[in-house]
Amino acid sequence: MTKQEIKLANLNTLAEYHEKLRKEPQLRQLFFELTLKCNENCFHCGSSCAADMPDGLPVEKYKEILREVKARYGTRSLIAVTGGEPLLYKDFFELTSYITELGFHWGMTSNATLITKDVARRLHETGMRGISISIDGLRETHDRYRGLPGGYDKAMVGIQNLIDEGVPGPIMVTTVVNHENIEELDALFEVFDDVDINEWRLTGLEPIGRALDHPDMLLTPEDNIRLMKFIKEKREQKLPVEYSCCHYLGLEYEADVRDWYFLCNAGVYVAGILVDGSVTACLDIPKGEKTIQGNIYDTPFCDIWEKEFKIFRTPLSERNERCAACPEARFCRGGSYHSWDYEKEEPKVCFQGVLF
């Protein structure tokens, strides 16, 4: 079989699996939006976080949800704690210790600026199994984008503190690539090639959150092609660089710029609980009447997971005539739920005519 034939066979197998998964979803990752407080003020923040934003649920409510999930499904789900900056949640270490005590694995997203040697030690002690840290450019660029002078240096120190502590699980750096900082990819690669991280993950700036105010920063078609070629070249050299889970990329790039094929896990593997107790799928998905599935103050989380989420368990492509008619619809299924326009019922990001 040719490489293309192998990819087609795998994509068809995945499409069949996804059809089954929509009928029999599996909760594999549960996000807790612990807080919208953040010590940075990123121009592209999908949740518009800031220093004066609210915290999430009381710690006892999170513990109640964890016990409920364990009683119904066991401890197979990864608990992902995020924010804002989750380390600003006042009961962070009490909660993460409890997650580990119950037998769950947990990981987190962070800007790493608050990860001192002591914090790295406590993350290790409370059982952290993985972390995604945001670095969005070289020093001046990163600090400008994220609104925190010295943020780059603090984040790099935080990464090194985690490495020195020997925390189990992967340390991943995530970079949001835009029309400007794409020029720094080679220089950033040199930086991270000298740091003992497990993975450098690149994702394009998405038209959500504050990024909607900066359309000039979105990637052009030429930028997207350049980004794919950059990642593919590094991976051909067996270097740990990959594209994010977002978007169907076509036969040329699927399984070449990341380890497997596109599958938006929202609502079939992934659920999230927002700071106000609202339940959705991926936390990057716009909050609205169609995407919020309930609230844990009204209905137990597991009941919401089992009885709701219908919008996430039917292909988005069925909501748009052009998508439905696309020859790649079986593999794309309308793309990622976080980049769908729920008012116009169309994708905000589509690589047809760009990558395939």
Task: Find out whether 334 and 347 touch, Cβ atoms under 8 Å.
Answer: yes
pLDDT of residue 221: 97
pLDDT of residue 249: 98
pLDDT of residue 45: 85
pLDDT of residue 52: 75
State the first-to-last Cα distance of the chain, in angstroms, to the nearest integer.
Answer: 21
pLDDT of residue 223: 98
Q: What is the spatial distance between Cα 309 and Cα 262, in angstroms, rounded to a whole number?
A: 20
pLDDT of residue 162: 98
pLDDT of residue 294: 98
Q: What is the spatial distance between Cα 205 and Cα 211, in angstroms, rounded to a whole number?
A: 7
pLDDT of residue 49: 72
Give me Rg for the CA atoms of the chain. Answer: 20
Q: What is the spatial distance between Cα 189 and Cα 298, in angstroms, rounded to a whole number?
A: 47
pLDDT lower than 50: segments of the chain: none
pLDDT of residue 55: 86
What are residue 339's phi and psi, to 5 degrees?
A: -110, 25
